Amino acid sequence: MQVTCPTCHRSIDWKNAPHRPFCSERCRLIDLGGWLTGRNAIPGEPVAEEPGHPHETPADH
C-alpha cells in the first residue's frame, strides 16, 4: 500500500514507514510544527474536537 507523505508528498510504502503517515521523523516533526503555527493537514483522519476549545480559553500563557 502506497501512501503520500503529508509533508513532502513523497510516495512511501505503508508497511515500511515507521513514521507513517510520514516518510520520516523529520517530516513528522515538520508537520507537528505546522500544527503549532496553525497550518494543519492530516488527510483521511478526522480531527476530534476536544472539550474546551483552546482558542476559547482565557489567555493564560
- Binding residues for Zn ion, rule: CB under 5 A, are 5, 7-8, 23, 27
Report the residue number, 3 or 8, with the smaller CB distance to Zn ion. Answer: 8
In the complex, the smallest distance separating the C-beta of residue 27 from Zn ion, rounded to whole angstroms, is 3
- Please state, in angstroms and as integers, the Cα–Cα distance from residue 28 to each residue in 24, 45, 54, 57, following that order: 6, 15, 22, 27
Report the residue number, 9 or 54, with the smaller CB distance to Zn ion. Answer: 9
CB 22 within 8 A of CB 16: no
In the complex, the smallest distance separating the C-beta of residue 4 from Zn ion, rounded to whole angstroms, is 9
Q: How far is CA 50 from the centre of its chain?
A: 16
